[in-house]
Amino acid sequence: MPVELDPASLNIRSLGERAISSPLEKLMAECTPGHAFYSDDHRVLVKHELPDVSRMIADGEEFPCFEVAGPRKKIYFDPSQTTCAIVTCGGLCPGFNDVIRAIVMQAYYRYGVRRIYGIPYGFEGLIPEYGHAIVNLTPEAVANIHEFGGTWLGTSRGPQDVLRMVDRLQELGVNVLFVIGGDGSQRGALAIEQEARKRGAKLAVVGVPKTIDNDMIYMDKSFGYETAAAAAVNAVHAAHTEARSARGGIGLVKLMGRHSGFIACAAAIASGEVNAVLIPEVPFALDGEHGFLEVIRQRVVSRGHAVVIVAEGAGQELLGQTGETDASGNLRLGDIGHFLKDRLADHFSKCKTALTLKYIDPSYMIRSVPASPQDRIYCMRLGQAAVHAGMAGKTGLIVARWHSVYVHVPIAVATSARRTVDPGKDIWLSVLESTGQPARYY
Amino acid sequence: MPVELDPASLNIRSLGERAISSPLEKLMAECTPGHAFYSDDHRVLVKHELPDVSRMIADGEEFPCFEVAGPRKKIYFDPSQTTCAIVTCGGLCPGFNDVIRAIVMQAYYRYGVRRIYGIPYGFEGLIPEYGHAIVNLTPEAVANIHEFGGTWLGTSRGPQDVLRMVDRLQELGVNVLFVIGGDGSQRGALAIEQEARKRGAKLAVVGVPKTIDNDMIYMDKSFGYETAAAAAVNAVHAAHTEARSARGGIGLVKLMGRHSGFIACAAAIASGEVNAVLIPEVPFALDGEHGFLEVIRQRVVSRGHAVVIVAEGAGQELLGQTGETDASGNLRLGDIGHFLKDRLADHFSKCKTALTLKYIDPSYMIRSVPASPQDRIYCMRLGQAAVHAGMAGKTGLIVARWHSVYVHVPIAVATSARRTVDPGKDIWLSVLESTGQPARYY
Amino acid sequence: MPVELDPASLNIRSLGERAISSPLEKLMAECTPGHAFYSDDHRVLVKHELPDVSRMIADGEEFPCFEVAGPRKKIYFDPSQTTCAIVTCGGLCPGFNDVIRAIVMQAYYRYGVRRIYGIPYGFEGLIPEYGHAIVNLTPEAVANIHEFGGTWLGTSRGPQDVLRMVDRLQELGVNVLFVIGGDGSQRGALAIEQEARKRGAKLAVVGVPKTIDNDMIYMDKSFGYETAAAAAVNAVHAAHTEARSARGGIGLVKLMGRHSGFIACAAAIASGEVNAVLIPEVPFALDGEHGFLEVIRQRVVSRGHAVVIVAEGAGQELLGQTGETDASGNLRLGDIGHFLKDRLADHFSKCKTALTLKYIDPSYMIRSVPASPQDRIYCMRLGQAAVHAGMAGKTGLIVARWHSVYVHVPIAVATSARRTVDPGKDIWLSVLESTGQPARYY
Amino acid sequence: MPVELDPASLNIRSLGERAISSPLEKLMAECTPGHAFYSDDHRVLVKHELPDVSRMIADGEEFPCFEVAGPRKKIYFDPSQTTCAIVTCGGLCPGFNDVIRAIVMQAYYRYGVRRIYGIPYGFEGLIPEYGHAIVNLTPEAVANIHEFGGTWLGTSRGPQDVLRMVDRLQELGVNVLFVIGGDGSQRGALAIEQEARKRGAKLAVVGVPKTIDNDMIYMDKSFGYETAAAAAVNAVHAAHTEARSARGGIGLVKLMGRHSGFIACAAAIASGEVNAVLIPEVPFALDGEHGFLEVIRQRVVSRGHAVVIVAEGAGQELLGQTGETDASGNLRLGDIGHFLKDRLADHFSKCKTALTLKYIDPSYMIRSVPASPQDRIYCMRLGQAAVHAGMAGKTGLIVARWHSVYVHVPIAVATSARRTVDPGKDIWLSVLESTGQPARYY
């Protein structure tokens, strides 16, 4: 997280004067005497902990703040003339369909927008050569999609040509583009926004950040992450059951987490059955008396079995890196799961300790499930906030919840760094307390 | 929520100088170079939104802050000489067993406490006449209890004689008492703390707040609430299925929520299938053109069916109040569910509109389920925080998460008011947006 | 079950000579060298247990047999000219949508039928005055309906005028009518078949028997019953959790079962948590030393809690009967659940035994769930068998599985008696063994 | 299935005269006037279908019959003097713990047996060198184990020395040994029975057959199979979701089924989402116009995606066989899953068809789940039947359900052949009808 955050960098760009009365005016008046619409002065501190805050006050510093999300009294787009579009990008994540549904329902029923396009298969859907047909999204079409995992619109990885995507959006007459995707896709969204601005096109680009790894900054959590962590617990239960049923049983589970071990940590704490968690943020030694292999062997000898979670991005320094990247430009990770499996087998064999190791890689079974009820609520509210922002002519932002408040974060800020598990803070401490593993394998 | 909160009122009481080195010192040193234990100066603002905060700075006001929870470098109790006790009070709530388990595991494995008593059947368990036998809680005994709903210790409602409870705690030699219960039970805990203090007994009383209704203030959420809301969604699905399968179908679901409609709101947003939500915070009219009965009838006529959620405490002003109270001193509520069922039947009959109404009251099937993975994590972390607080000699507090940070809140503050759904704020707006219901039935 | 079953009564009526080659011919040839289509001589014994069978052989009796279901080499209807219709009747049951989907998929893809009507809201949908619009069922329309509970077509209770229903079916040009419903509805189906025959209409009527109570004879099980029993286990878990968490805790669960206690028995055995099961087939005394009330009180005194299941039709002789009937002509049952609740309260109070009774009536939450995977398979196969039968011109029958083989049973035979739990046979013995309850409360 | 089954081969061996009155006598008398205990003359036909049965009658053949299971009036062992032992062998399967629990509960509560040993880690537990401690099984110890997957006793693969196992059983004074395991383990059980008989030891050996693949003959189903098939459906859903969300999406799921494709077939029918099922019983060609690769590619081109299930034992003829065997003596199978994955990638690449293939191997997550409610009932009843048989002095048998009746099958008969999916019978036809795949890829 950047140490110094310039308060001015948190201002949200707008397409211009907002002069149209919100169709929500009557509803707001009835539920809140005095029309308590959300104004742009309603903000929330980025940092809320002492002694930091005290020091800033003492120094007379201006506080970095996020604009609070919600309906605005005056909006920029006339709903009856507005065309919205939704695109879903990157790997599957629980909740995609909930966000699509929430945006459609909100734009249609609350604002009265009648043209909402679904862009198929991610940014590919904006490049005519792929031949994907644009979809019309209506409340009927999306009514039940949240009962299913995946994304109704399809998805793809990687960037596409920005100029051609903006050409296509202009051709379609899109006024508000909703981009549901990860940091790479949000950078793509920002590039679209910038190109549209250069052309003078009145296009609002609003992002809904998606990362199953929960590794984007300035948000309490990403949608789908809690569902994924809950699904991961099933894999841990399976590993625990296998480990306990065999002599010298080890259950080894590889979970998502390229750069951040949140799912691994959550699955460990939630299951209460894990003896070691390996995450990208905490390097570990394999060999030697205090190394991972021997510590686990001791555990198996003394307690009969062990359960280990390894995040896919952990221990990369132990593997020969290929330097290859995938379509999204992400570095191809070495396969830490099979590597550990083999090294454990070698070590136990060398020590003549019985071993029955079961290796579980549940990732597709995790990321494809429908969202849990809590994630549904989160998706619904993110979708509602995204529509409020877009209709108000705000652009180049993502919507998120920060310290319990829904806010607007500039895309540039949200993608400026990655959120990781801090090995000196309470989540990791809670993992250590839950698993009983040493602070470090050395 | 009290408008003015005195910063001094948020200080946490302590049993005295803390001079014993924490057994966590080595672990902390290894995971954080420089021993980053939590100090009592580490705090979090109670309010973090502008313009409130700006005004306070301009006025030079001192900020109300909560002490941050977590392990302290010096602790008050020598673990090898310490006796802990756990009591669970009030109605069932998912997560009771997770909190019990977390406290036992943390006290036993991380601090080395060897005597942990389970007090059976709530405060009754401290009154010898009831004849309940105190239970020894060990890691083995609690290893799997989180797989089950309810409370392993049993529970009861209502207060008991404070003097006799303190007698019994002294007799048992209890040093740290963990009270898992609602606002009434936490007031009981505070009374025990005050009596013990009067007697000069070195007893730390630490509360873990339990309210399935999510209606206690100064916490992001209460444990079990999200699990309950998720279980409530099943009842809503049933109501929706019944309503859609019959001519003139209405599914009417009564959910928890004596004073606060959080579960009703969450179930409505999460299911995406609800057409009307009635909560205690928003009065409603039954009769007339814009009244609930006719609006629902219009919905059934035009769309074939309707789904309605009513919180148990809603519309009490429409019922003749008995003024009776239960064992916990709570006012007995009138039965709004059956009342609405009858009134809908009358109204539809009068209007000669076909009606097939199915009434579902799922409360026991909701409150008795095991905690969801996310609630397990929350319970685990509350339990860990509670043990840190108790071993440090802090007393008269509850542990909670506030704006994403685990904190200590004085019991007196936590029980000074009730948290409710604000009809002018975003949760209720989100309900209105999701259901399409009018802001008010009038 | 009728003691003497005339073998001739098991013959299945046919619309006439079957001369059209089945479109399945190529598929069958490829999977089975030699075209092993099912012939009408392929039959299965109604009774397969000795000494009964030996006696029949000794006496030279002809064996009652059911015709085996499956594809026929020659069919009666030309698929391209055939119109099918599906109607769903009676109370909700898991699997309705699976059967609808199976019939549509099978008729459309395997036989090439292109007109499949959905009759809305049960037999009402055949009476124009109700104003229900007939639905066109296509594979696209039904592709995902099995993910949802209830019936996509809607349902209603009770009979309608047979002449007018046949008028409407003729008007619509229906050749094969699939009736998914209980014994009353199957009698209605038979009346339709008889009236059509009288008119010389070439209408095949094929029933898929639906009874959540599992109380129809000559079938291994009814679809949805196992799903319902599994859902009932959740209610039993809730009751058990409540009972164990309170002093003097009793969890009392009322389950389906008007005349037959199968769901009650299954939920008891599956949960392993039940101490008493009361079913319609086994009368019980309430009072006295060996009566239900005192035996349960003894259990609560000695073990702290108890879980009781009562089937809705149990103990009717203890209640004052009203003699009223519902729209389907079923006798309105007295409310045994609340009756027992009150009587237990009285008895415990009289004996000054603490009691915390929680009463759970989960029926809507049970009957509205989607079918379990096993029930999906069963529904799929019943639907496939029904289409095979209908296309072959067979009529006046239901499809069912009998002793592991899918068969055709004449509607008149299938509705001639009711299946009940035999108090002298192994299911009830298994309940007694599982619960430890006495064979009779007397 | 052997074409000719000698009726005499189905007789069940007994330890001798049964002279002790069953403790169930009173219970039986109360539930069935006239003491309707099960006698050994109560039998069920092995075959119940015509024309087979007719032909046998015509020829005057004796019918092969299974003895019906259940309580006997006179038993062989005096419960107060009886020692039982339970051992669980082979790979994990849902329901192990349910069977253990059922046997303990039944032997303890219904017969009054007080010494029940748990043999740890399969047959290894009878060989002292492994150092496994024998466990005492009491109702308290097993009360909740059915909530967990795996086997509480642990398991291992492969045979052990029969002489030493019988030595150990005699040392322990075991009278009734319950062996829960697959065909290999049941052969081991039979060897133990034969050796004990040779020694004149009064040891009853009763098997409860366990095969997750459902591939043992003479049983309606094996316990755990339905649970496993239901869990497999989750993997299919994941594959379907992945396939639909990507351009050129294929979801490929490898499921259990070394020799028999029952789980693959069940998962395909239950999910309704599968386009091709490959099982060991039906060979298939990969290449050519009608080969698997091209047919699937055509499906992807025309419909956008495809879902494929392959049983682990399918297509072994396409792989180079190693001839290796595992500890249980089973042939090590070639990895058909990865083979197909690679061949599909090659073929699509050669044809320049876009492909996004997701490969899922969920086996540990399937076999480790707790039993479903229906399997719980089945396990409970198998366990009850096993205890009845053992206490009656019956030996060398397994208990099973055959055509809806619980029966005794001699181990030698039950292990004489393997049950497979018959490509000419209704299950496979139902798969073809559900998936729309061709009868053969050629």
Q: Per residue in A171-200, pLDDT tens? A: 999 999 999 999 999 999 999 999 999 999
| Chain C residue whose CA is closest to D147 | C271
Place of tokens 């919205």: A84
Average per-residue pLDDT in chain B?
A: 94
Which of the following is catalytic: C213, C220, C335, C342? C213
Task: Place C38 in a pLDDT band, splitting at 50, 70 and 90.
Answer: confident
Inter-CA distances, B147 with B13, D68, D228, Å: 35, 38, 21
Structural domains in chain D, sorted by start: 7-222+371-402 (3.40.50.450), 226-368+423-435 (3.40.50.460)
pLDDT of residue B270: 97
By Cβ distance, the residue of C155, C235, C242 closest to B150 is C242
pLDDT digits over B273-322, tens only? Answer: 999 999 999 999 999 999 999 999 999 999 999 999 999 999 999 997 66
B54 touches B108 (CB < 8 A): no
Out of C51, C146, C438, the one facing D41 most closely (by C-beta) is C51
* Dihedral, A29, A31, A34, A38 alpha carbons, nearest 10: -90
Query: Does the structure show a pLDDT above 60 at B35?
Result: no
Closest by Cα among C341, D326, C150 to B244: C150
Among all chains, which residue has been given the structure tokens 């039979």? D190
> B292: number of CA atoms within 13 Å, CB side?
23
Nearest CA distance, D159 vs chain B (angstrom): 33
d(CA A410, CA A209): 12
How far does D41 lie from chain A, in Å, by closest CA? 40
Give B67→chain C minimum CA distance, Å: 34
How many Cα atoms are found within 13 Å in the side-chain-facing hemisphere of A292? 24
Cα dihedral sign for D64, D68, D72, D75? positive
Cβ atoms within 10 Å of D194's Cβ, excluding its own: 16
Average pLDDT of every residue of chain D: 94
What subunits touch chain A, counting only 3 or more CB pairs under 8 A? B, C, D
Full 3-state SS string of chain B: CCCCCCHHHHCCEECCCCCEECCCHHHHHHHCCCCCCCCCCCEEECCCEECHHHHHHHCCCCCCEEEECCCCCEECCCHHHCEEEEEECCCCCCCHHHHHHHHHHHHHHHHCCCEEEEECCHHHHHCHHHCCCCEECCHHHHCCHHHCCCCCCCECCCCCCHHHHHHHHHHHCCCEEEEEECHHHHHHHHHHHHHHHHCCCCCEEEEEECCCCCCECCCCCCCCHHHHHHHHHHHHHHHHHHHHHECCEEEEEEECCCCCCHHHHHHHHHHCCCCEEECCCCCCCCCCCCCHHHHHHHHHHHHCEEEEEEECCCCHHHCCCCCCECCCCCECCCCHHHHHHHHHHHHHHHCCCCCEEEEECCHHHHHCCCCCHHHHHHHHHHHHHHHHHHHCCEECEEEEEECCEEEEEEHHHHCCCECCCCCCCHHHHHHHHHHCCCCCCC
What are the pLDDT digits (tens) for D277-332? 999 999 999 999 999 999 999 999 999 999 999 999 999 999 976 677 777 777 78
> According to the model, what pLDDT value does residue B2 have?
43
Model pLDDT, residue A114: 97
Identify the pLDDT of residue B243.
98
Q: What is the pLDDT of residues A221-260, one digit of tens each?
A: 999 999 999 999 999 999 999 999 999 999 999 999 999 9
Q: Which of B43, B67, B42, B1 is nearest to B409 (CA)?
A: B67
pLDDT of residue B4: 67
CB-based contact C72:C37 (threshold 8 Å): yes
In angstroms, the CA C267 to CA C414 distance is 26
Dist. CA D103–CA D282, nearest whole Å: 39
- CA-based max dimension of chain C: 78
State mean pLDDT over C226-233: 98
Number of H helices, E strands in chain D: 14, 18
Q: Taking the model in full, what pTM does it have?
A: 0.95
Please count the residue pairs, one from chain A and one from chain B, whose beta carbons lie less than 8 angstroms apart. Answer: 182
**Which chains have at least 3 CB atom pairs separated by less than 8 Å from chain C?**
A, B, D
Q: What is the pLDDT of residue A386?
A: 98
pLDDT at D34 exceeding the cut of 70:
no
DSSP D141: H
pLDDT digits (tens, 9 = 90+) for B202-250: 999 999 999 999 999 999 999 999 999 999 999 999 999 999 999 999 9
What would the mean pLDDT of D197-202 be, rounded to a whole number? Answer: 97
| C256 CA: distance to closest CA in chain A (Å) | 28
- Residues of chain B with Cβ-Cβ distance to C92 below 8 Å are 241-242, 245
**CB contacts, 8 Å: A148 with chain C:** 144, 147
Q: pLDDT value at position B34? A: 60
Residues of B with active-site annotation: 213
Residue B28 pLDDT grade (very low, low, confident, very high; cuts 50, 70, 90): confident
Chain C residues in contact with A144 by the CB 8 A cut-off are 144, 148
Contacts of D245 in chain A (CB under 8 A): 92, 150-151, 154-155, 368
Contacts of B271 in chain A (CB under 8 A): 373, 376
Chains in touch with B (≥3 Cβ pairs < 8 A): A, C, D
**Is it true that the peptide bond before C51 is cis, omega within 30 degrees of 0?**
yes
| Mean predicted confidence (pLDDT) in A305-309 | 98
Give the gap in angstroms from C-alpha A41 to the nearest C-alpha of chain B: 7
Determine the distance from the C-alpha atom of residue C305 to the mean position of all C-alpha atoms in its chain, rounded to a whole number.
34
Which residue among A98, A183, A213, A375 is the active-site one? Answer: A213
Q: Which residues of chain B make contact with C156, given a CB cutoff of 8 A?
A: 246-247
- Residue C154 has its nearest CB partner, among B148, B238, B247, at B247
Name the band, by pLDDT with cuts 50, 70 and 90, for residue C306.
Answer: very high
Of D313, D329, D321, D266, the C-alpha closest to D90 is D329
Q: Which residues pair with A205 in a beta bridge?
A: A177
Alpha-carbon distance A343 to A340, whole Å? 5
What per-residue confidence (pLDDT) applies to C322? Answer: 66
The least confident of A412-416, B330-334, D377-381, D421-425 is: B330-334
pLDDT value at position D89? 98
- Is B31 close to A439, i.e. CB distance below 8 A? yes
Q: Which residues, in sequence order, are bridge partners of residue C91?
A: none
Position B201 pLDDT exceeds 60: yes
Whole-number average pLDDT of chain A = 94
Residues of B in contact with D147 (CB under 8 A): 147-148
Q: Give the single-character DSSP code of A319.
A: S
Tens digits of per-residue pLDDT, B338-379? 999 999 999 999 999 999 999 999 999 999 999 999 999 999
Inter-chain CB proximity A154 and D247 less than 8 Å = yes
Q: How large is the average pLDDT for residues A320-332?
A: 74
How many CB atoms neighbour CB B80 within 10 A? 11
CA-based nearest distance D224→chain A, Å: 15
Q: Which residues in B lie closer than 8 A to residue C130 (C-beta atoms)? A: 247
Q: Which of A317, A358, A363 is nearest to A336 (CA)?
A: A317
Instruction: Determine the Cα–Cα distance for residues C426 and C364; give it in Å rounded to an integer.
Output: 29
Output the pLDDT for position C2: 43
* Separation between Cα atoms, residue C258 and residue A250, nearest integer Å: 50
Q: What is the pLDDT of residue D204?
A: 98
Mean pLDDT of all residues belonging to chain C:
94
Between C and D, how many CB-CB pairs are < 8 A? 181
DSSP C197-245: HHTT---EEEEEE--TT--BSSSS--TTHHHHHHHHHHHHHHHHHHHHH
pLDDT bin (cut points 50, 70, 90) of residue A426 is: confident
Whether residue D397 contacts residue D408, with contact meaning beta carbons closer than 8 Å, is answered with yes
- Would the CB atoms of B439 and A27 count as touching at under 8 Å? yes
Task: Please report the DSSP string for A326-383 in residue order.
Answer: -TTSPBPPP-HHHHHHHHHHHHHHHTT---EEEEE--HHHHHTSPPPHHHHHHHHHHH
Which residue from C57, C109, C374 is facing D230, i.e. has the nearest CB?
C374
For D156, the 3-state DSSP assignment is coil
- pLDDT tens, residue by residue, D328-385: 777 788 899 999 999 999 999 999 999 999 999 999 999 999 999 999 999 999 999 9
Alpha helices in A146-261 (DSSP H): 162-172, 183-198, 225-245
- Judge whether residue A3 has pLDDT over 60: no
Judge whether A296 and A344 are in contact, CB under 8 Å. yes
pLDDT of amino acid C1: 42
Q: Do D438 and C30 touch (CB under 8 A)?
A: yes
Chain D residues contacting A via beta carbons under 8 Å? 92, 121, 124, 130, 132, 148-151, 154-156, 234-235, 237-239, 241-242, 244-247, 358, 360, 362, 364-365, 368-369
- B177 backbone dihedrals φ, ψ, rounded to 5°: -110, 125
Give the least confident one: A212-216, A370-374, C426-430: C426-430
C421 with D28: CB under 8 angstroms? no
Q: Which of C241, C247, C360 is opposite residue B149, by nearest beta carbon?
A: C241
